[in-house]
Every structure is written in C-alpha cells, then in structure tokens.
Amino acid sequence: MAMSAIYVLNGPNLNLLGAREPEIYGEDTLADIEKRCDGKAKQLGLSMDFRQTNAEGKLIDWVQDAGANSSGLIINPGAYTHTSIALFDALSAISIPKIELHLSNIHAREEFRRRSVTAAAVDGVIAGFGGAGYLLALEALKELMN
C-alpha cells in the first residue's frame, strides 16, 4: 500500500500538554501523542507530518502548505478555534479532507469555548476523547481520503 502524506497540526499551548491542567487535557505530552499517532498512521498506510506552533500566522502557513502538499489534515487549533477568522479562511481555501480535533469536550467547557469558528471549514470534529481523539481522527481521515 502506498503511503499518503497527511499533516497533523497543533496550535497554541499544546506544547504544554502533560503539565498544563492535566485534569482537563490529560497527562500525556504532545510527544507521547505524536508517538502513538506515528504508529497508528503507519498501520493505516499513512505518512505523517506532526507539528505544533503558538503562532497564528505560522499555523495558517502550515494549513496552506497542507492544502498544496498533503492528502489530508488533522488540526487541533487550540484557542484559535474560538477566535480565528483567518484560520477559518485558510481551512476554507483548501480542498483536502480536514478534521478538527480537541482533547477536551469544548461543548462542556466555559461558554466562550463552546463555539468553534473553524468547525464550519472542516469535514468533521472530534472532541472530548483526550489523546485517543488523535487516533480516532487518523481513522476518520483515512476514511475520508478513501
């Protein structure tokens, strides 16, 4: 089976996983999640480019790059989920399969976290399953790519 390249993009503060509010985000670090994702991606016949940034502009550049150079995108926009029209526009501009991902259930959180301005620009949203959500997103993205 040929390997298909996908991007897994992570937004602000996800570099702090494992230390930042583990009661909400879990004890896994982003490196732990990446390692599990790498194994799952290989099992699904996918190659993966896994990245994290705290900078909105860089995240937008990576979304555009994914649109030009990958077969699919999983994005955890972090707090930009609730605020970034620019990220919504970038996601809307690319035509590859896209999944938005959240570690916590944003709909059970603070009022301001319950709205995603980016969700309308993706094919589906996975939220509330912690690090396992990334594995679910990989499986879902593989289905969308088929």
Per-residue pLDDT of the chain (146 residues; tens, 9 = 90+): 345 699 999 999 999 888 777 677 767 899 999 999 999 999 999 999 999 999 999 999 999 999 999 999 999 999 999 999 999 999 999 999 999 999 988 887 778 777 899 999 999 999 999 999 999 999 999 999 99
Q: How many domains does the chain have?
A: 1
Instruction: Look up the CATH number of the domain holding residue 113.
Output: 3.40.50.9100
Q: How much is the pLDDT for 2?
A: 46
Give the integer Cα–Cα distance in Å for 58 and 21.
25
Pair 96, 123: CB distance under 8 Å:
no
- Whole-number pLDDT of residue 1: 38
**69 CB-near residues (< 8 Å, 6+ apart):** 5
In the annotation, is 82 catalytic? no
Active-site residue, from 7, 80, 102, 134:
102
Domain limits for position 111: 4-145
DSSP state of 143: H
> Is residue 134 annotated as part of the catalytic site, yes or no?
no
Total-model pTM: 0.92
Catalytic residue selected from 25, 80, 107, 134: 25
